[in-house]
Amino acid sequence: MAERYFQPEIETASREQIKAWQDERLVKQVRHVWENVPYYRKKMEEKGLSPADIKSTEDLHKLPFLSKADLRDAYPYGLMGAPLKDCVRIQSTSGTTGKRVVAFYTKEDIDLWEDCCARAITAAGGTNEDVCQVSYGYGLFTGGPGLNGGSHKVGCLTIPMSSGNTERQIMFIRDLNATILCCTPSYAAYLGESMKEMGLTPAQIPLKAGIFGAEAWSEEMRQDIQKTLGIRAFDIYGLTELSGPGVAFECSAQTGMHINEDHFIAEIIDPKTGEVLPDGEQGELVFTAITKRAFPLLRYRTKDICVLSREKCPCGRTHVKMSKPRGRSDDMLIIRGVNVFPSQIETVLLNMGYPANYQIIVDRVNHTDTLDVQVEMTPEMFTDNMGDIAQRQKGLVDGLRSMLGLTAKVSLVAPKTIVRSEGKAVRVIDKRKI
Ligand code: DLL
């Protein structure tokens, strides 16, 4: 029997056991932060709190939130929770504006992070008999290093490809018989498209599973990737501030991602009021890291909008599941007063047979918002018959109107016109000066 990295004593523990771990670890973590992170201690003092006020997870809501603004204020060392001599690594966000987030790790922090990634690979069916091609970026971005570490733990033969050089990616997949592919979903779609163009059928592609995350992707995009590559495509979620990929991952049920609750406590809040919402309600995801030492964030607001579910999962895991993020509270576009998530637009396009290559351009002309959706045609759709194109555009305008309640301008563009991303795709260009 191939070695596996399933940890049933943790991943299928009873809810009482999980709560007991969380209670104990939270109390310890709050004391650790109080003693080692003056920035957060001051925030607690401002709320009149001391560690004695936090006795269990029931008291979690009393703690102040941390946000990206705090991370910027405290940049670079202000939220470090361990002495420099105990820290062995930093990773950093891919953000293009302002200061980047710098997260610190002790050796133990890296070990726990890699455990989480190993659980994700195992849940996708990975064992030490697999060849795992890690095509997330390596370096400051957490995708490559995180899944690389997880893949080692599972015992897979690991190909540390990093992103880019599509030809070489495909060559290694084929020559080394890679069975698991880890990259962003948009890059997976692009690799699939390139292999199809080379005349490869799914049966000729050795891959059997993909672990795709770092950006939002719809259920329709999953179906598309699964079909082109002949694999099962699993979602994985995480953020640099909390270690990186592996905060949550999908199992064989493919109906949401189990949060590693022995390391992270999840809450859903109303993004406007900060009030904690019950399971099943949509809101902003907030995490408290209860085992990390070097960058121990408490009640960190992710801005990701999703829903938590504690319904029994057929895979046997008991850890709470988060839905695919439905967007970010800061990605949500408000166009002519209507809330629009890019994922809704993606759903319409894929449902109507278009590829997930699109760009959303928002502008303001004469005080009115405009929504322009540029959509790439597949080579089969491509034609110079203007009547056909006009009809296709009308179909899309109608589809978008019924999903969003808004009229968009749709431009169909030739195949391969929209720039492909090897990492996270840039879907939205907001030109409004507001
Ligand atoms: O994207 C970590 C990661 C790497 C996750 C590889 C999964 C795979 P950051 O660059 O700090 O970290 O970006 C974090 O990306 O708050 C979400 O908005 C978004 N995100 C991450 N995973 C998903 C996902 C990495 N599966 C931000 N679905 C998060 C939707 C995701 N959005």
Per-residue pLDDT band for 434 (boundaries 50, 70, 90) equals low
The Å distance, Cα 137 to ligand 1 centre, comes to 13
Instruction: For a ligand 1 pocket test, name from 237, 322, 426 the mutation site with the most ligand atoms within 8 angstroms of its C-beta.
Output: 237
Assign domain 334-430 one CATH number from 3.40.50.150, 3.30.360.10, 3.30.70.100, 3.30.300.30. 3.30.300.30
Calpha distance 322→279 (Å, rounded): 10
In whole angstroms, how far apart are CA 63 and each of 224, 288, 299?
Answer: 43, 10, 7
The ligand 1 atom nearest the CA atom of 257: 26
Per-residue pLDDT band for 414 (boundaries 50, 70, 90) equals very high
Look up residue 115 and give its amino acid.
D
Calpha distance 172→131 (Å, rounded): 10
The Å distance, Cα 30 to ligand 1 centre, comes to 26
Q: For residue 427, with 0-12 CB atoms within 10 Å meaning exposed, 13-18 middle and 19 or more buried, which class applies?
A: buried
Which residue, 185, 133, 94, 171, is CA-closest to 420?
A: 185
Ligand 1 atom 9, closest CA: 239
Q: Is the pLDDT of residue 35 over 60?
A: yes
The Å distance, Cα 45 to ligand 1 centre, comes to 32
Q: What CA dihedral angle connects 184, 190, 194 and 200, to 10 degrees?
A: 60
The Å distance, Cα 238 to ligand 1 centre, comes to 5
- pLDDT value of residue 215: 86
The whole model's pTM is what?
0.86
Per-residue pLDDT band for 407 (boundaries 50, 70, 90) equals very high
Q: For residue range 43-52, what is the model confidence (pLDDT) as tens digits?
A: 999 999 999 9
Residue 96 DSSP code: -
Calpha distance 70→42 (Å, rounded): 12
Say what percent of the chain tops pLDDT 70: 97
- pLDDT value of residue 95: 55
The ligand 1 atom nearest the CA atom of 136: 6
The ligand 1 atom nearest the CA atom of 240: 11
Ligand 1 atom 18, closest CA: 304
Overall size of the chain counted in residues: 434
**Higher-confidence position of 254 and 427:** 254
Q: For residue range 227-256, what is the model confidence (pLDDT) as tens digits?
A: 999 999 999 999 999 999 999 999 999 999
Q: Is the pLDDT of residue 100 over 90?
A: no
pLDDT, the chain, mean: 93
Calpha distance 422→192 (Å, rounded): 13
What φ, ψ does residue 186 adopt, rounded to 5°?
Answer: -70, -35
The Å distance, Cα 300 to ligand 1 centre, comes to 15
- pLDDT value of residue 5: 80
The Å distance, Cα 213 to ligand 1 centre, comes to 6
Lining ligand 1 with CB less than 6 A are 93-94, 136, 142-143, 213-216, 235-240, 244-245, 302, 304, 324-325, 328
In whole angstroms, how far apart are CA 149 and each of 19, 22, 144, 219, 228?
Answer: 28, 25, 9, 28, 28
The Å distance, Cα 180 to ligand 1 centre, comes to 19
Ligand 1 atom 29, closest CA: 239
Q: For residue range 264-307, what is the model confidence (pLDDT) as tens digits?
A: 999 999 999 999 999 999 999 999 999 999 999 999 999 999 99
The Å distance, Cα 215 to ligand 1 centre, comes to 5
Q: Is the pLDDT of residue 21 over 70?
A: yes
Instruction: For a ligand 1 pocket test, name from 68, 239, 328, 343 the mutation site with the most ligand atoms within 8 angstroms of its C-beta.
Output: 239
The Å distance, Cα 187 to ligand 1 centre, comes to 14
- pLDDT value of residue 408: 95
Instruction: For a ligand 1 pocket test, name from 68, 117, 242, 304 the mutation site with the most ligand atoms within 8 angstroms of its C-beta.
Output: 304
Ligand 1 atom 13, closest CA: 239
Instruction: For a ligand 1 pocket test, name from 215, 259, 303, 322 the mutation site with the most ligand atoms within 8 angstroms of its C-beta.
Output: 215
Q: What does the H/E/C string look like for 47-81?
A: CCCCHHHCCCHHHHHHCCCECHHHHHHCCCCCCCC
Q: For residue range 342-389, what is the model confidence (pLDDT) as tens digits?
A: 888 999 999 999 988 999 999 988 778 899 999 999 988 988 888 999
Q: For residue range 199-235, what is the model confidence (pLDDT) as tens digits?
A: 999 999 999 999 999 988 889 889 999 999 999 999 9
Calpha distance 230→287 (Å, rounded): 35
Say what percent of the chain tops pLDDT 90: 80
Spell out the domain ranges in the chain.
8-330, 334-430
The Å distance, Cα 400 to ligand 1 centre, comes to 26
What is the mean predicted confidence (pLDDT) over 159-180?
96
Ligand 1 atom 27, closest CA: 239
- pLDDT value of residue 261: 98
CA 71 vs. chain centroid, Å, equals 20
Hey, what CATH class is 8-330 in? alpha beta
The ligand 1 atom nearest the CA atom of 328: 18
